[in-house]
Structure 1
């Protein structure tokens, strides 16, 4: 149980900017429990943003509420996954050979493709939040979106090999098995059963991660931390689109 508690705190420390005033041990056991807790951390993030939305729904105009929720979402994660998205955009946008793409991804400088990716990604995310709220959807739809997005990251870590024997993604993979992926799936499956139409986001996530994993292997030979982080952002955007589509058409 001690490893499980440390693992949950490690996941919270790694995926959010919520204060964790404790040094968590970095061991194979805690890494495994941390990966299993990824969707649980997503559930917490989604619940915090949804609670804010519920408190202010009807108080703020819908566009401002959507912008506030997006701002809170980014603040809680510290933009960690957005950084991965930007690095990936610069690398892919370069159209350079593989080794050069890796060098660009590791470069701390931000290029034009990173800026474009960030602007359009946040614009689409904000617009979909606005559209969901305008369609009458509850802010609590963000709970399965955030949880499933982080479950997708666990799926990538378990199924798609690291491109290089270095970095956090590779270190994490050394401790993970498909059994850990199955345990991480408990929260997403429970949310799918609880959320109206929840099966569609789950199936949509599987399709997204399958395609994304294949694309990562083709473009880079595998994954790294930036690619996993970008998958969380891309997965959330895709899930918001699915949620809006379902709510707008199935509930109409």
Structure 2
């Protein structure tokens, strides 16, 4: 039981900037339970976002969207955005494989990283604005961060690391496909209450599969930055699909 609790706290400390001043042992058991808790941490973040959306439902839509985006970034401390920028700099360099890995390790941010950050946040903000404007149901905001974090966990477990060092490689030593399945359990339970969630589960699985193929092709393996970038990309992918689905539902005549 202690390993379960420590794993949950470890996931909170690793994925968020929420103050959790508890020392957690770094053991294979706590790492396994931390990965399994990734979607639960996402549900917590999504719940806080949904609460803010409810509190600001009478505020101007652009202000509410910007407030949600600000809270979204603040709660994660920009952890995954750093991965997006590093990956964008490496891909934008158009250099051989060895040089791309060197660029990813460089702590300085290049022009491609800045552009990737700008457009990612811009699209996320616009999607939030549109979804709020068209009064999409708030369950999507509650579960979206959870699905994306499950996607990051799945990529980490099911994809080889490019190098036998670093945080991602450390985590992988304790993980297996069973952890990916157990991490999905909360989402499967919620799918009984929100049938539309089943389609979102399929969508994030497709995104993870495509990301795995692309990263193996371009980098012959992954690292922690790529896991973070997959979480951010998964959130954006799901937001775009949610908006498309809601537009279609609104435009369809009754009974269709």
Q: What TM-score bracket applies, with the shorter chain setting the length?
A: over 0.9
**What is aligned with 1:43?**
43
8 A Cα contact 1:90 1:111, kept in partner? yes
1:52 aligns with 2:88: no
2:190 corresponding residue in structure 1? 191
> Number of matched residues?
251
Tell me how far apart the structure 1 counterparts of residues 121 and 80 of structure 2 sit (CA, whole Å).
12
Equivalent residue of 1:35, what SS? helix
Report the alpha carbon displacement of residue 152 of structure 1 after superposing the two structures with TM: 0.2
Q: Helix, strand or coil for the counterpart of 2:43?
A: helix
Aligned equivalents of 1:4, 1:51: Cα separation in 2: 27
Q: Which residue in 2 is equivalent to 1:13?
A: 13
Q: CA deviation at 1:134?
A: 1.0
CA distance in 1, matches of 2:215, 2:32: 23
Normalised TM-score (structure 1): 0.97
What is the aligned partner in structure 2 of residue 153 from structure 1? Answer: 152
TM-score, normalised by the number of residues in structure 2 = 0.96
What is aligned with 2:241?
242
Give the SS at the match of 1:238: helix
Alignment partner of 1:164 is 2:163 = yes
Aligned to 2:254: none
Residues 69-218 of structure 1: matches in 2 within 5 Å? 69-218=68-217
Q: CA deviation at 1:177?
A: 1.0
1:29 aligns with 2:29: yes
What's the CA shift string for 1:136-186, capped at 9, x where partnerless? 113332121100000001111111111111111111111111111111011
Instruction: Provide Cα deviations, 1:160-219, integer angstroms capped at 9, x if missing partner.
Output: 111111111111111111111111011122233323521221111011000000001011
Distance 2:105 2:187 in 1: 32
- Unaligned 5+ segments in structure 2 are 252-256
Matched, 1:63 2:54: no
Instruction: Name which of structure 1's ranges 131-140 and 25-34 shifts more when overlaid on structure 2.
Output: 131-140
Query: What is the distance in 2 between the residues matched to 1:72 and 1:175?
Result: 32
Supply the distance in 2 between the matched residues of 1:151 and 1:53 (Cα, whole angstroms): 23
Aligned counterparts of 1:26 and 1:69: Cα–Cα separation in 2: 33
Whole-Å Cα distance in 2 between the matches of residues 139 and 129 of structure 1?
11
Q: Distance in 1 between matches of 2:88 and 2:192?
A: 35
Report if the CA contact (8 A) 1:144-1:192 is conserved.
no
